[in-house]
Amino acid sequence: MMETLTLLGSTGSIGKNALRAAKRLNLRIKALAAGKNVTEMENTAREFSPELVALYDERAAGDLRARLADTPIKVLGGADGVLAVASTAADCCLNAIVGAAGLLPTLAALDSVKRLALANKETLVMAGAHVLRTAREKGVEVLPVDSEHSAIFQCLRGEEKRFRRIILTASGGPFYGKTSAELANVTAADALKHPNWSMGAKVTIDSATLMNKGLELIEAMHLFSVEPERIKIVVHRESVLHSAVEFEDGAVIGQMGVADMSIPIQYALSFPLRAPTDLPPLELEKLGSLSFSLPDRHTFRCLPIAERAAKLGGAACAAMNAANEVAVARFLDGKTGFLDIADSVERLCEGYSGDASPQRALEIDREVRERAQSLWR
């Protein structure tokens, strides 16, 4: 059982949920990191009394330092501050940072903890082979926090080498069933209305474009050492079956539950034990029926873009991830249309293939962002 925890991305939806789980499990919070939410971090720091906190935004860190001057809590700022939190010795680090910014903290945490609970899927998209190899060498257990990958992990316990394929479920997002013509003028506010899950803005847009499922396919490839051809993506609107595994004898085992991130987050912290939550039970009789269909790859082109990148290798995945981050940011800022996201990603990540070390993945990330700036000047 874990006793101490460091948490990266503590002010986001995953981070807040993780703090509630830590309280239920009686885990001691040793260090916290977030972006720039001073008020949220101050309140959390006063409640959990960590040794160290960091905000990526230097100005916000200065404000926080003044607010916490009456406490013994050390306050750091900038990327180095976040890395210091990730490097704090603890039983477990939960990385819930959004985007490519989570890669270096993941690598730092591998030197300092026994378990990495990974909610930052971009770490594995950009450099999954290297990260997991390093974790094995250092004896660090990597547990997924995404609901789908947690479901697969649970289904595979004790049978890791005897499965035929993974069935990766997708909610379909807020625009399921829409045509390209119907999506031409949707706004960020429309795209942020996810039917089942409460998530941060970036991942919610990724869910709307189906890029999130493409990223999760790449994540699953690394976590479970499986080729992309052995991962089938199925749209499941109700988000009750969180994913499943088909075994060689034809048996399919799936993990079901209410659509709440409390379950996979707490499981990553309590594994191999299960602990109670305050969630309502899953009442199957009230659901009536469950639906399954194939994704519309013609309308939601980000998914096939990600599938192609998965086959091309780590460099293509790193480029695609960077391109998607900048394209989604532009859409959220109202500077581009919803359908332009796929066009931009495809254009920006062209020409990359082969394996990539973390250092090369970060170089590619910078190259693509610079290319985007030139393109949109």
Residue 161 reports pLDDT greater than 90: no
pTM, two decimals, is 0.94
With beta carbons less than 8 A apart as the criterion, state whether 339 and 190 touch.
Answer: no
User: What's the mean pLDDT in 22-44?
Assistant: 97
Q: Is the pLDDT of residue 1 over 80?
A: no
Percentage of the chain beyond pLDDT 90 is 93
How far apart CA 84 and CA 76 sit, in angstroms, is 8
Mean pLDDT of 324-329: 96
pLDDT band at 152 (very low <50, low <70, confident <90, very high): very high
Supply 118's token pair: 């990974």
Amino acid at 165: R
Task: Say how far apart CA 372 and CA 87 lie, in whole Å.
Answer: 32
Closest CA to 231 of 341, 306, 314: 306
CA 136 → CA 103, 139, 172, 223, distances in Å? 17, 5, 34, 12
pLDDT of 375 > 90? The answer is no
53/34 Cα distance (integer angstroms): 8
- Whole-angstrom Cα distance, residue 256 to residue 120? 23
- Homologous superfamily in CATH for domain 4-145: NAD(P)-binding Rossmann-like Domain (3.40.50.720)
In angstroms, the CA 250 to CA 242 distance is: 19
At 214-252, the pLDDT tens digits run 999 999 999 999 999 999 999 999 999 999 999 999 999
Residue 196: is its pLDDT beyond 80? no
93: left (phi over 0), alpha (psi -120 to 50) or beta: beta
With beta carbons less than 8 A apart as the criterion, state whether 6 and 28 touch: no
Q: List residues bridging with 52 in a β-sheet.
A: 31, 74
- Tell me the per-residue pLDDT of 286-298, one tens digit each, with 9 for 90 and over: 998 999 999 999 9
Confidence of residue 165 (pLDDT cuts 50, 70, 90): very high
Residue type (1 letter), 129: A
Those residues whose C-beta lies under 8 Å from the C-beta of residue 294, and which sit 6 or more positions away, are 233, 234, 235
Average pLDDT, whole number, for the chain?
95
For residue 281, what pLDDT band results from cuts at 50, 70 and 90? Answer: very high
* Residue 217 token pair: 């396919």
Strand, coil or helix: what is 357? coil
Q: Is residue 198's pLDDT more than 80?
A: no
Enter the tokens of residue 86.
């990730």
Burial (CB count within 10 angstroms: exposed 0-12, middle 13-18, buried 19+), residue 360:
middle
pLDDT value of residue 339: 96
Pick from 159, 106, 112, 158: nearest CA to 133: 106
Sign (positive or negative) of CA dihedral 299, 205, 143, 110: positive
The phi and psi torsions of 216 (rounded to 5 degrees) equal -70, -30
Predicted confidence band at 162 (pLDDT cuts at 50, 70, 90)? confident
Q: In this predicted structure, what is the pLDDT of residue 200?
A: 82
pLDDT of residue 189: 94
Helix (H, G, I), strand (E, B) or coil at 50: coil
The C-alpha atoms of residue 122 and residue 106 are separated, in whole angstroms, by 10
Give the pLDDT of residue 158: 81
pLDDT value of position 160: 67
Q: What is the pLDDT of residues 73-125, one digit of tens each?
A: 999 999 999 999 999 999 999 999 999 999 999 999 999 999 999 999 999 99
pLDDT score, position 26: 97
Question: Looking at the predicted structure, is the pLDDT value of residue 180 above 90?
Answer: yes
Rounded CA gap, 277 and 285, in Å?
22
**Alpha-carbon Rg for the chain in angstroms:** 20
Rounded to 5 degrees, φ, ψ at 17 are -65, -40
Q: Where are the domains of the chain?
A: 4-145, 160-257+295-312
Instruction: Label residue 370 exposed, middle or buried (CB < 10 Å: 0-12, 13-18, 19+).
Output: exposed
List pLDDT tens digits, range 301-325. Answer: 999 999 999 999 999 999 999 999 9
Residue where the block lists tokens 């029926």? 289
